[in-house]
Structure 1
Amino acid sequence: MRAFGFLSFGHYAFGGQRAPNAQDIAKLHLDLAQAADEIGVNNASLRVHHFVPQSSAPMPLLGAIAGSTSHIEVGTGVIDMRYENPLYLAEEAASLYDISGGRVALGVSRGAPEVALRGWEAFGYKAKAPNGADLARANFEKFMGAIAGHGQATAAPLEDQYPNMYQPGSALPTFPHSPGLSRKVFWGSGTHSSAAQAAQDGVNLMSSTLVSETSSDTLGEVQLQQINHYRQAWREAGHDWTPRISVSRSIFPIIDGTDQRLFGMQGSDSDQVGYLPDVGASIFGRTYAAEPDKLIEQLRADPAVMAADTLLITVPTTMGLDVNTRILENFATHVAPALGWQPNTEGPVTGYDV
């Protein structure tokens, strides 16, 4: 494990609930990322969902985090490409890349099951597949073409241009263009086949918080198979750079009585299997909650954690800044070094040998 970060689902209260509201949670994310940056944590990521009280428009917050920190990379896990204008997303992502100095780890995918019935249609987009997979794929390909600098529009006749900048009929790219951004994109994969496709596409792999290949194997074992599929496909594709692979887990180090009181009952000894619409039977990862020595032993026994180069810890942001900072600090101090992690003091994380 070369890097670790936090992944927030961004839950907040609405409709009179007594809990942090959207403004509170946005401020908490900013403060938590700044605290994590000081600790040396490598990544601050937001999960993106629409039509629910969670993170839905991450770019403003990620820009604020990038502009107020020095080393931590900012990212998503993941942006649902069924809801995106791919060219506008390309402009936003390139701007974020420039603001952060390349400290970006942008996770995208088809998206998870949701509360809305074909919610992407409310955003003005159409799909043929019931789950919108064709729309997500088309938007992803257009997005990747845009951030690669490919032309996306045609220059008007010279007399219609203002200002006069381009040869009429020439191909126009989106701006800004940041050449390094293409290597900062992750595909959020829940299957072996989508992991192999990500490798063929030449993007990094973000193994999902749930995986739809169910068996008697643990989540870590299934994810290891997924990672091996990805690495084999990457080698066969012949890309000239080394990608990154991330997984996420719920982890609560128990250092003292306060941690025991807060998290002692959270731990579980096995993964869960559930059924999700459009996905079917899926494996959900266990929650780790234990003293450092035991956590180190458990995480070393998790094959996906040890095969990946980046571990994202899912954090309970509604519990407040102090609790979440405590989780990250405890993990950084008492657990992560034994897994191969060193504090981040040099900016973006680089690729990992496959």
Structure 2
Amino acid sequence: MRKLGFLTIGRFDAADPRPGIEETLQTIVRAEELGFDSVWLRDRHLQPGISSPVAIMAAASQRTSRIELGTAVIPLGLENPFRLAEDLATVDVMSGGRVNPGVSVGTPMMYDHYKTALYPESHDVQDFSKERVLRLLRCLRGEPVSDFSGTVGIEQFTDHVQPHSPGLADRVWYGGGLESAKWAGEQGINYLTSSVVSTEGSQSRDFATIQGEQIDAFRAHHPRPDRARVSQGLVVIPTDSATDDQIRRYREYAASRFERTTAPQGPRGMLFSPDYVGTSDELADRLFDHAGFQRADEVAFALPFSFGPDDYTQIIDDLAQHLGPRLGWQPAG
């Protein structure tokens, strides 16, 4: 395994959000100290979690110097690609080229409940297709977005988004199922997998097999498969330094979510991965047998939603100090 990272939801108390946001920033600093290659931020709207990952990355960029900062994922249905490109490029420049924007498309979650607040006059005609990703890529690549370039009075205008951060477009990631994997490959961008897959297009009902098929399809459609980046995301909870109470709660958490892994869910046949709990030796054996893990040399293991700060500290420390080395990873720096 070449790169080790983790994904956090960045929870906070809605009545007092500052401590939770500060905890997220301190977690990113700790991750860099432990040698992690990346930290990925979830994007949640109208929930007590990270609603503005770009702002969090901006703050984290000033407290760290090396670690990559990613989003998994920004739903572009809530974003203007032009403005998002300006923000991402600004933070990428601030960070020295460490931003990895992960994005998705489609109708935003719970859209009918707030669409008039988001798009008062145009909520019924918004285009939530992959064209939104292409618009973002064009902006990040410095392609013209204006038909004017020149001076007006003492003000200078360019025809492309400012600032321009070379290389940022090459660090865009896209998440989705089989067709999305093929599309991401065709666009030459990177591919994010997660702990849920769509069974559409597959004869299998085994999560690992389907994830492996999707990664293979991505690379098969990428113009430079040798340079194509894939990151695997699963809930992986090492217990090497955990207390007996923590181990009990971790296993109860995984057991409470196991039923949804036994059969596809909903019209698209969404299949969830089991959560992985155990010692690093146990987890390594299971991951080495996992068809998805076998095909990805980067991971962003997801931290569970409902644990406390001490739990996250233990999990992160064990990922870096025990599981990562067991998987062949070496700390950065």
Superposition TM-score, scaled by structure 2 size = 0.88
> Counterpart in 1 of 2:219?
231
Q: For the residues of structure 2 that align with 1:119 and 1:136, how far apart are their CA atoms? A: 19
Preserved CA contact (<8 Å) 2:234 2:300: yes
1:122-160 per-position Cα deviation (integer Å, ceiling 9, x unaligned): 32284768xx7x4242321111101111110122786xx
> Counterpart in 2 of 1:66?
61
Preserved CA contact (<8 Å) 1:39 1:329: yes
Q: For the residues of structure 1 that align with 2:49 and 2:272, how far apart are their CA atoms? A: 20
Picking from 194, 206, 209, the partner of 1:208 is 194
Partner SS, residue 342 of structure 1 = coil
Is 2:285 the partner of 1:297? yes
Preserved CA contact (<8 Å) 1:78 1:111: no
Percent of matched pairs sharing the same residue:
28
> Counterpart in 2 of 1:193?
179
Which consecutive unaligned segments of at least 5 residues does structure 1 have?
16-20, 346-354
Partner SS, residue 230 of structure 1 = helix
Preserved CA contact (<8 Å) 2:75 2:108: no
Preserved CA contact (<8 Å) 1:49 1:80: no
Q: For the residues of structure 1 that align with 2:195 and 2:19, how far apart are their CA atoms? A: 25
Is 2:273 the partner of 1:285? yes
1:186-209 per-position Cα deviation (integer Å, ceiling 9, x unaligned): 0011x1111110111111000133
**1:112–1:227: structure 2 CA closer, same or farther, 3 Å change rule?**
farther
1:244-300 per-position Cα deviation (integer Å, ceiling 9, x unaligned): 101111111112434424423344578344534xx6320111111112211111111
Preserved CA contact (<8 Å) 1:31 1:321: no
1:199-220 per-position Cα deviation (integer Å, ceiling 9, x unaligned): 1111100013311116543222
Q: For the residues of structure 1 that align with 2:225 and 2:86, how far apart are their CA atoms? A: 25
Preserved CA contact (<8 Å) 1:207 1:247: yes
- Pairwise CA RMSD of aligned residues? 2.6
> Counterpart in 1 of 2:207?
219
Aligned residue identity for 2:172: V
1:30-89 per-position Cα deviation (integer Å, ceiling 9, x unaligned): 011111110011111111122233221111111111210122111100000111111111
Picking from 238, 245, 250, the partner of 2:230 is 245
Aligned residue identity for 2:66: H
Q: For the residues of structure 2 that align with 1:331 and 1:37, how far apart are their CA atoms? A: 13
**1:341–1:164: structure 2 CA closer, same or farther, 3 Å change rule?**
same
Aligned residue identity for 1:331: L
Picking from 145, 148, 160, the partner of 1:152 is 145
Q: For the residues of structure 2 that align with 1:39 and 1:208, how far apart are their CA atoms? A: 23
**1:23–1:113: structure 2 CA closer, same or farther, 3 Å change rule?**
same
Of 312-321 and 38-47, deviating more is 312-321
Preserved CA contact (<8 Å) 1:223 1:304: yes
Of 1-10 and 142-151, deviating more is 1-10
Is 2:330 the partner of 1:342? yes
Which consecutive unaligned segments of at least 5 residues does structure 2 have?
none
Partner SS, residue 150 of structure 1 = coil
Preserved CA contact (<8 Å) 1:12 1:318: no
Partner SS, residue 153 of structure 1 = coil
**1:314–1:23: structure 2 CA closer, same or farther, 3 Å change rule?**
same
Q: For the residues of structure 2 that align with 1:2 and 1:112, how far apart are their CA atoms? A: 34
Preserved CA contact (<8 Å) 1:300 1:306: yes
Superposition TM-score, scaled by structure 1 size = 0.83
**1:227–1:84: structure 2 CA closer, same or farther, 3 Å change rule?**
same
> Counterpart in 2 of 1:163?
154
**1:81–1:136: structure 2 CA closer, same or farther, 3 Å change rule?**
farther
Partner SS, residue 335 of structure 1 = helix
Q: How many angstroms does 1:107 deviate by?
A: 0.3
Partner SS, residue 71 of structure 1 = coil
**1:62–1:192: structure 2 CA closer, same or farther, 3 Å change rule?**
same
Picking from 78, 85, 94, the partner of 1:90 is 85
Partner SS, residue 145 of structure 1 = helix
1:304-354 per-position Cα deviation (integer Å, ceiling 9, x unaligned): 122112111211465333321210111222111121211122xxxxxxxxx
Of 258-267 and 48-57, deviating more is 258-267
Q: How many angstroms does 1:162 deviate by?
A: 3.6
> Counterpart in 1 of 2:28?
33
Preserved CA contact (<8 Å) 2:173 2:189: yes
Aligned residue identity for 1:275: Q
Partner SS, residue 283 of structure 1 = strand
Higher relative contact order (CA closer than 8 Å, sequence separation 6+): 1
Of 245-254 and 314-323, deviating more is 314-323
